[in-house]
Structures are given as structure tokens and as C-alpha cells.
Amino acid sequence: MRALSPLTPHRTRREWVADGVLFAVSLWSWYYYAFLIHPSFVDGVSDWFWPVDQVLGFVACLLLWWTRRYPRTVGLLLVLPGALAITASLPTLIGVFRMAKWSRPLSSVAITALHIATALPYHWVFPLPDMPLIVWLVTIPLMYALVLCGGLLARSRRQVIEGLRESAARDRERYEERLTSTRRDERERIAREMHDVLAHRVSLLSVHAGALEYRTDPDRTATPPTTQEIHEAAVVIRENAHRAVEDLGELLTVLHEDEVSMRPQPRLRDIPQLVAEARLAGESVDIEMAVPRDGLRESMQRTAFRAVQEGLTNARKHAPHATVRVVVAEQDDDLLVEVENAVPVGLTSAEIPGGGRGLVGLAERVRLEGGRMDAAVRDGRFRLTVVLPSGAR
């Protein structure tokens, strides 16, 4: 019973209004032909058949409520009222229109042809006054063809609108996916920047704090540090802590503001200063630079700087007493960055734990530049090698 209910499928307010208006117009047409038309118009209809005509016309009006769900079935059911009842003329034409709008074109054309074939003989059975046969034979096919074409056009328009809506929905989904991917990439970029900057500063703090702890422990050293040495260590710790806070503040500012005046990004010319800070922290570093410090692509210079920074930080964490060798040179028109240090025999309690995120972030930087990276232990030495492609000038 639910399948046969005219209340299904669920209609929107606009659909209720459209269906209601069509039913009201059809009902008024039925009432007009059944009760208000001049008797001379239906003189050709037998008196015994006129009540049947009225019933068929009313049934045709009711069938319009099912055209939205069963358009082809209703189209077939309207063949009988359309062929035998004058009062069903307008409801039948509306049913054909809606059938063409909601059904497949091939079936709509076939059922409409059936309507025409069954409606044409009516004039021979019940001839209408003042209606020549030739006019009837031309008018009926043209009327049904016009209604069919109107329904097919409405169907095409509906399909175009649905296609545009689906395309807009797909575009919105793709936009949301791109937005999510962009946000993820931006978070990863910021995380890499925070790791590169803060890991370097924190490792310097750890080295100086560890040295100060060792020198001030009476059980470990017989010669306590002088006041001047303690003061110098505290100054270095304070300066690096202050710089770490400044670096973190600049990164947080980028997160909260759309347009900021960023500090100059690190370049090749900043590598000697980076090495000087490492030496000040007590790290033994040998450096060889055989490339121009300017004139290279900024992103490539920044990647090379981060590679040296990551190598020094890892050496400071895992091999605090080993000599670090840094090489920045041209190799077959490519830029070679190599950081090498001896691997310690054992780990000390002062070593900072590492999660490998710095190397992962550096590998991502190198990949974006189109280069290659290798980080491995060979012959007792850890070597970080980064090769950035040519064409950077």
C-alpha cells in the first residue's frame, strides 16, 4: 500500500506546489468539459457513454499524482482515457508531458505513438461537430508531438542541472582535498623549520649545561671551575636560550599572521657563523667551502644550510667528542654538502635522544629540490651526503 500511495516518494515544497497546480488545472478542465460545456459540442457522443467519459476523465486527473514515481505506467494507463474520453484530454496531455520528462526517451516516444494511434479513430466513432476529419487527423499528432517535445526538453534541462550540481559537488570535494593537503604540507613545513632551528639551539644548551654539570660535580673532577668559567658558561646558555625563544616566536608569528616581515632565510654565507657557534660550544669542526656564497637559488642555499645544521646537531648529540668534517663544494656542476664524524663506541648519559625526524625532514627538503640524500654509517664513521642538482644558478 505504501508503494501505491500518492504521498510517496517524498516531495519537496516546490514539487508539492507543482503537482498540486497541475492536478487543479486538470480537475478544472474535467469539470468544464463534464458540466459547463455547451451540449452541442458533444452531440456526437452517445447518451449512455457520456457518464463513462466523465468517470474516465476523473480517473485521468487522479492518475497524475503517480506520474512522478511511475511515469511510464501512468502513461500506459492514460491510453484508454485519452482514446475514449473528451474530459480526459488535458490530463492525458499532462501525463504524456511528465512521462517524457521522467522516463527514457525511447519508451516515451513509443507510448506517445500508442496514444496517437488510439486517439485518431475517436472521430469516426463519435464525430465532433464543426471538426473536419482532416483537421482531426493533423491536430491530434501535432498536439501529442508538441507535448512530447516539451517533456523531452524539460528532461534535458533537468539532466543538465543535475550534472552541474554533481560537477560542483566534485569540484568542492577536490577543493577540500587540496585545502587539507595544503594545510598538512604547511604544518609539515613549519614542523621542519621548528625542528631545524630549535634542535640546534637546544643541543647547544645541552652541551654547555652538561659541561657545567660535570665541572661542578666534586665526585667527577678534582679541579672545580672558577667563577669566570661558570659565568661564561651561564652567558652562553642564556644567549642560546634567548635565541631559541626568538626563533620560536618568529615561527609562531607566521602561524598567526598572513603577512609578516620574515627575517632573512639562512644561506651559504651563514654556514661559517653556524660552524663558529658549534666551535664555541666545544665542538671540533673542520670546514671546506669551495663554492660562491651568493648567486645560487635561495631555496637550494637554505637546504644546504639545513643539511650542515642537521649534521652538526646530530654529531653534537651522538658523538660529542668527535671531530666533524664539513664539505660544501661543487661536484660535476652539482652542489655537494657532506658532514662526517666518527661514531662513538658507547652512548653517554648526557646524550640527547634523537627520533630521526631531522633526517626525515631534511630528506623531504632535498627531494623537493630534486636532489638526493644519503645518511649511513660506513667504516665506523657516520656520513651525511646531500647532492643538489645543477641549474640552480
String of DSSP letters for 116-131: HHHHTTHHHHSPPTT-
pLDDT at position 256 over 60: no
What CATH class does 267-393 carry? alpha beta
Beta strands in the chain (DSSP E): 285-289, 324-331, 334-342, 372-378, 381-388
Tens-digit pLDDT profile for residues 126-170: 888 778 889 989 999 999 999 999 999 999 999 999 999 999 889
HSE-CB of 33 using CA atoms within 13 angstroms: 23
pLDDT at position 189 over 80: no
Rounded CA-CA distance 198/189 in Å is 14
pLDDT at position 278 over 80: yes
Mean pLDDT on 5-34: 88
In degrees to the nearest 10, what's the CA dihedral of 165, 171, 173, 177?
Answer: 180
Which conformational region is residue 288 in: left (phi greater than 0), alpha (psi within -120 to 50 degrees), or beta?
beta
Given this model, what pLDDT does residue 65 score?
93
Of how many residues is the chain composed? Answer: 393
Given this model, what pLDDT does residue 350 score?
44
Tens-digit pLDDT profile for residues 28-84: 999 999 988 877 777 778 888 889 999 999 999 999 999 998 999 999 999 999 999
What one-letter code names the amino acid at 210? Answer: G
Rounded CA-CA distance 12/17 in Å is 9
Task: List the domain boundaries for the chain.
Answer: 13-173, 267-393
